[in-house]
Amino acid sequence: MHVPEGIRPPELGHLLEIPGAVVGPYRLLDQVGRGGFGTVWRAVREHPFEQQVAVKLIKLGMDSEAVLARFDHERRAMALMDHPGIARAIDGGITDRGRAYFVMEYVDGMPITDFCDRRTLGLHERALLLAQACDAIQHAHQRGFIHRDLKPSNILVRTRDDGSPEVKIIDFGIAKALASSERGMTVTEAGELVGTPEYMSPEQADIDGGTADTRSDVWSLGAVLYELLTGNPPIGSHGDPDTTRASTMRQLREGSVPRPRTRAAGCAAADAAARGTTPQRLAHALRREPEWICMKSLRRSPDERYESAGAFARDLRRWVSGEPVQAGPESVAYRLRAYARTHRTQVAAAVAVLASLVAATATSTWFALRESRARAESEARATETARIAELQSSVLSRIDPAWVGAAIVQDALNRHRDVLVATEPDASVRKPLLATMYKEMIKLNKADIGRDVIDRWIVTPTEKSIDEQLADMPAAASGMRHQVAKRRWVLGQLDAADALARRALGERERLIGPDATATLETVHLLGMITWSRGDAAAAIPLLARARDGRTAALGDRHPDAVESATQHANALAAAGRAAEAVPLLRALLTIQQESFGDASAEAAGAQRDLGAALAQVGAHEEAVTLLRAAWQRRVALIGPNAPGTVATHAMLASSLAKSGARAEAIGMLMDALALMERSHGTRDLLTLSYRTRLGELLLEDGFVDDAVGQLTQARDALLAGFGADHPITRECDALLSRASARRGAVDSGRGSEP
């Protein structure tokens, strides 16, 4: 139906679902989808600002007022989620005819299955796209959210400006808003099933009221993978007239999932062609890893599935890269075959060398064996100590405080819910108790919790065990001391980190020499710790030694040499020698661009460092240009929450302030501070430096009370964690004195008024 220009409600108030109709402040443009909940429209908000959105109109009879109340709660809580792979929930309301509607970020994409089929993507490309979706779901799970209705039409793929595909999850929070209770059985009071049977986990379909948790989403992701690989979902079949909703639900509850290769062998030729192959070849390609991964995600028992969406994503990427997968057998033979696949050149070379050695050893074996006995014990000992240090160092380096804290909070919420479900049969009693628990737990800073747990139960016991258990293995002990020093530095325990790093450095210089790469690694770490303690001048010679040694040993383009050179230049800038740092950082930017490309994350990092130094020498226009480009590139490549991205965000805000754009700078720094608190906690030194800078900007802009609040909070945490002599603590004190003087001047002026 054509809608004449200029017609608005109430003329069209009774004609809701047509182009031009107005729903709340949004004007419908065209329908882009239809599903079990209702219809989805592309729409535009014209006042007070223009914004293109997606509006989902919910079917009549789906408990509109209760649905909207639940959705509003979900929308507020979901504001904590910040991931480029998740479309934002924006608004919601009820029309004058009683229809609930939800408003979401509009994603100009298509369902993941359609995207893959239209581009005839291979199995590996499909797996990598689903891994992106798993990453987004993992982010949501860490913040306490379950999607409950993952299916291809809720996993959209759009093309970025550079031609690369980007996955966006939509409809987060809507399934929970439509659910009648906290139980996994997502059915509204009107009797409408919330979810899609073909992609729903068995516990969600349990008529006795199964409990959905994060592993229910793992099942749904597995069902989408199954369809990406075979052309059909694991339960039911597209286009089969005998497949009904009831039969699908029954099979989900009682039946089993056929193996992907079995389904692929009988798939339509068109489905196989969309994957660039034939049914027979597709069935053969799905043997082993793809089938193992798929079936593990679709186990009937949640305990037997992947423990998280993140683990699912890691296995998909392992399969694509040829590494052994978690879902595979634990046999040595399988692990060796996987290693051979990913190291073909090395294995081929080893085989060739082995063949020549076998032919040549007829007369020399006895002599070689006798000589080898003389050094066997020392080599075995060196190998043993190196492997122990490498293993434990790897474990320590991968522990992320934000992830640990999020896991603890989520586990507490899950256990609280399970206890209530087991002990309180009345859902109306359970719901307010659950809501109160969630409301209180969400206030906790997860990164702070994670930092405390890591320190108390991992880092401190590890440090104590070094002297006790590695006394006769000095190489391993020095390696572990280095890693513990690094973790204490990350946790902000700078005095302890400094002492450990100095001891590790002395041991490594004595054991393996001052120019060994491991020794230089500790020199670099000690330089960074010294800088963090507020003494950039003392850090400069340490970082220069690390730079020179690593460059001589590894070359000036090796990542370790570049890292030391970069931090040496940054330390020069921090010590007030930015004019010396700028040419060094320009040269490093050229190296990163030539090594990784202009659009790489490495080049963006070099742009950030150069931009920060330029801001210090007064080249504000070039600094802002470089920092804005670096920030936007890092957001696109690795997301807005990555520490380097947040640092770039804050540097851009600082440079904007220096150039005179203080209003924009304050908003950006507030955003960066919020991101930093979530990822690193409220007591992290970088977080506190951002809070101090925000207080300074607020003070400069005349918001004295707000500035005092930020600066007082920063100073209290700095005193507790870093002491009164730390430069940032002293800066806070100076700013608070300025604020007090300004407040006194204002009060004095008021007192003199007639």
For strand 26-34 and strand 22-23, is the pairing parallel, antiparallel, or unpaired? antiparallel
SS3 sequence of 211-257: CCCHHHHHHHHHHHHHHHHHCCCCCCCCCCCCCCHHHHHHHHHHCCC
Among 33, 38, 9, smallest CA distance to 21 is for 9
Report the distance separating Cα 88 and Cα 53, nearest Å.
10
CA distances from 21 to 10, 60, 64, 578 (A): 10, 17, 20, 59
Quote the distance between the C-alpha of residue 43 and its chain's center.
30
Among 157, 70, 159, 163, smallest CA distance to 110 is for 157
Neighbours of 314 (CB within 10 A): 19
Q: Which residues pair with 303 in a beta bridge?
A: none
Q: What is the DSSP secondary structure assignment for residue 7, as one 8-state letter?
A: -
Q: Is 701 a catalytic residue?
A: no
Determine the angle formed by the axes of helices 601-616 and 643-659, rounding to 10 degrees.
Answer: 30
Report the distance separating Cα 287 and Cα 294, nearest Å.
11
Cα Rg of the chain, angstroms: 30
Which residue in 91, 149, 271, 448 is the catalytic one?
149
Tokens 């210089």 found at: 509
Interacting residues of 640 by C-beta distance below 8 A, sequence separation 6+: 82, 84, 646, 649, 675
Neighbours of 394 (CB within 10 A): 10
Q: Which residues pair with 43 in a beta bridge?
A: 28, 53
Tokens 């997606």 found at: 54
Decide: 107 and 87 in contact? Cβ < 8 Å: yes
Decide: 94 and 65 in contact? Cβ < 8 Å: yes
Q: Which residues of 533-546 are buried (b: 16+ CB within 10 A; e: fewer)?
A: bbbbeebbebbbbb
Side-chain-side CA neighbours of residue 667 (13 Å): 3
Q: Which residues pair with 110 in a beta bridge?
A: 157
Q: Which residues are catalytic?
A: 149
